[in-house]
Chains A and B, each alone.
Chain A
Amino acid sequence: MAYGTVNTDIVSDSSGGRLAPISSVMRNRIINGAMVIDQRNAGASVTPTTVGAYTYSSVDRLWYLISQSSKFTIQQNAGAITPPNGFFNYVGVTSSAATSVGSGDYFWIGQSIEGFNTSDFSWGTANAKTVTLSAWVYSSLTGTFGGSLYNSASNYFYPFTYTISSANTWTQISITVTGPTSGTWVGATNGVGVRVLFNLGAGSTLSGTAGSWASGSAYAPTGAVNVVSTNGATFYITGVQLEVGSSATGFEYRQYGQELALCQRYYFKVSGSNAPNATWGSGKMTSTTNAGIHAVHPAPMRDLPTWSYGGTVVVEGTSGFAISAIAVTYSSYIATRLGLTISGATAGQGAFATVGSTSSDYIQASAEL
């Protein structure tokens, strides 16, 4: 039997309509767009406090960037409302005060997409591809909301707007963005390919005209609703998708294990709430005060990760030794050898590392963007 050859990247029916692609692998460049994975908090509420830095503290891959601390909370499934049909999770922001947004203030959430996953956009070239951002949004407020797409250097922006006409109602939004032929984009690297931002509040000096690419600092469209300015206001979002093309297609569902592995390229956590006394590495006591532990990453990570721990983390030999410090001895994308500070061990004994039995007992590694 002879096999034909497909020489086009568009498959059309006899009347010219585009058919859905057979494969949808990585059509959505957003990771955890259905807000399913929450390794850090397992659904607990978080109050963003770190000012002036992309900070990850809520559902996986979602950062916040703020100019004032403690002005809103963020939580997977905040308010316990019914998600849009077909979804089971969302992330919810709740304003904690009627915050006055000054000209240089900012309150944002978003995701940084790795360059390896956006290089085919060919942005910054004559072949720049059009993309479409879609999502389901819900707010206690109505009006014109917004956000932006921008580059790694944060100097080339596309502010966009969308409308929520009915309060407390899930609304599907779609924003089509013509690919920029200018600007500096990192291409196929493990750096930031594109940042996608949803505005919760932005001052005038960080806002600009929606609907076109421009140099500057237009993180948000001028005049958009500032969620943080209304005490108790809510903003919920799920089903976030960024794809090549001039129209939004159905949300690309991924299997749970697949989505988790995608998230773990950037961050993973072993917690006592996952499995009490879970083992996460093994090695030996290198001295009475140090254990060398080899930990294999659950997925190849984006870069050499930062390690930290909380609560009770124990090195088990003939007895258990709680660690008091952690140091990276050797590291690669797939594994790390750690030096764990302990007391009273016997050099040369075999050892394995565990966490305690509560959610406060954890070891984590981060290679976020």
Chain B
Amino acid sequence: MYKQCKNIDNSIADCVIRIEDGACIPFSLGNTDYQAYLKWLEAGNTPLPAENN
């Protein structure tokens, strides 16, 4: 399960939070955690919305 991230100005950030451990994953195709996130999306899942700062 993942949750979107927001920047300080509350815009959507180019990263996502992996809820199980709170890890912040940048949107970079070479990052294997991001690759796992993309597979999760392909499986039809949707991340939780980000919380406002």
Residue numbers of A with Cβ under 8 A of B are 53-54, 190-191, 286-287, 289-290, 292, 302-309, 325-329, 331, 338-339, 341, 366-369
User: What is the CA–CA distance of A309 and B15 in the complex, to the nearest angstrom?
Assistant: 16
Q: Which residue of B is nearest A339, CB measured?
A: B8
Q: Are B31 and A326 touching (Cβ within 8 A)?
A: no
Residues of B within 8 A of A326 (CB): 22, 24
Does any Cβ of A come within 8 Å of B43's Cβ? no
- With contacts A308-B21, A326-B24, A366-B33 known, is A290 near B8, CB below 8 A? yes
User: What is the CA–CA distance of A301 and B9 in the complex, to the nearest angstrom?
Assistant: 28
Q: CB within 8 A of A306: which of B13, B14, B33?
A: B33
Q: Which residue of B is nearest A336, CB measured?
A: B26
Residues of A within 8 A of B14 (CB): 328
Residues of A within 8 A of B5 (CB): 327-328
Q: Are B53 and A289 touching (Cβ within 8 A)?
A: yes
> Chain A's nearest CB lies how many Å from the CB of B46?
19
User: What is the CA–CA distance of A305 and B26 in the complex, to the nearest angstrom?
Assistant: 7
Q: CB within 8 A of A328: which of B26, B32, B36?
A: B26
21 residue pairs from A and B, CB less than 8 Å apart: A54-B32, A290-B8, A292-B8, A303-B28, A306-B31, A307-B24, A308-B23, A308-B24, A325-B17, A326-B24, A327-B6, A327-B15, A327-B17, A327-B24, A328-B14, A328-B25, A328-B26, A329-B8, A338-B24, A339-B53, A367-B30
User: What is the CA–CA distance of A307 and B15 in the complex, to the nearest angstrom?
Assistant: 10
Interface residues on B, range: 20 to 34
Q: Are B22 and A309 touching (Cβ within 8 A)?
A: yes
Q: Are B53 and A304 touching (Cβ within 8 A)?
A: no
Q: Are A306 and B30 touching (Cβ within 8 A)?
A: no
Does any Cβ of A come within 8 Å of B7's Cβ? yes
Q: Are B17 and A307 touching (Cβ within 8 A)?
A: no
Residues of A within 8 A of B21 (CB): 308
8 Å CB contacts to A: which residues of B7-53?
7-8, 13-15, 17-18, 21-26, 28, 30-34, 36, 53
Residue numbers of B with Cβ under 8 A of A are 5-8, 13-15, 17-18, 21-26, 28, 30-34, 36, 53
By secondary structure, the A interface counts as strand
Q: Which residue of B is nearest A191, CB measured?
A: B30
> Chain B's nearest CB lies how many Å from the CB of A79?
30
Q: Which residue of A is nearest B7, CB measured?
A: A329
Most buried by A among B7, B26, B34: B26
Residues of B within 8 A of A308 (CB): 21-24
User: What is the CA–CA distance of A327 and B25 in the complex, to the nearest angstrom?
Assistant: 8
Q: Are B13 and A329 touching (Cβ within 8 A)?
A: yes
User: What is the CA–CA distance of A131 and B14 in the complex, to the nearest angstrom?
Assistant: 41
In the A-B complex, the 8 residue pairs with the smallest Cβ-Cβ separation, listed nearest first, are: A308-B23, A303-B30, A304-B28, A304-B26, A328-B15, A306-B33, A327-B5, A328-B26
> Chain B's nearest CB lies how many Å from the CB of A219?
19
Residues of B within 8 A of A54 (CB): 32
Q: Which residue of B is nearest A54, CB measured?
A: B32
User: What is the CA–CA distance of A54 and B14 in the complex, to the nearest angstrom?
Assistant: 24
- With contacts A287-B53, A289-B53, A292-B8 known, is A367 near B31, CB below 8 A? yes
Most buried by B among A191, A306, A309, A368: A306
Residues of B within 8 A of A53 (CB): 36
User: What is the CA–CA distance of A338 and B7 in the complex, to the nearest angstrom?
Assistant: 10
> Chain A's nearest CB lies how many Å from the CB of B9?
10
User: What is the CA–CA distance of A80 and B23 in the complex, to the nearest angstrom?
Assistant: 33
